[in-house]
Amino acid sequence: MSAHELAWSSFLREPTSVERWLRHGDVLLRRRDGQTLRLSRESSETAQREALLAAVRLLTVGASRAKKKLQIDEAEIAERLPWTRFLPAADRTTFVAEFLDTLESCADLGEFVALGRLVEDWKATASLHAEGLAGRLKGGLRGTGARVPRP
Q: Which has more confidence, 82 or 147?
A: 82
State yes or no: pLDDT of 5 exceeds 60: yes
28-33 long-range contacts, Cβ below 8 Å, gap at least 24?
28/3, 28/4, 30/5, 30/6, 32/8
Measured between alpha carbons, how far is 93 from 91 in angstroms, rounded to an integer? Answer: 5
Measured between alpha carbons, how far is 56 from 50 in angstroms, rounded to an integer? Answer: 10
Q: Give me the pLDDT at residue 70, please.
A: 46
Cα–Cα separations (whole angstroms), residue 1 to 21, 26, 30, 43, 44: 11, 8, 18, 14, 10
**pLDDT per position as a tens digit, 40-71:** 877 777 777 777 777 777 777 766 565 554 45
Closest to 70 measured CA to CA, from 100, 103, 107, 114: 100
Measured between alpha carbons, how far is 144 from 151 in angstroms, rounded to an integer? Answer: 20
Strand order of the β-sheet with 4-7 is: 4-7, 27-30, 37-39
Measured between alpha carbons, how far is 23 from 44 in angstroms, rounded to an integer? Answer: 11
Q: Give me the pLDDT at residue 87, please.
A: 92
**pLDDT per position as a tens digit, 19-29:** 888 888 888 88
- The mean of the pLDDT values for the chain is 81
**pLDDT per position as a tens digit, 102-134:** 888 888 887 888 889 999 999 999 999 888 887
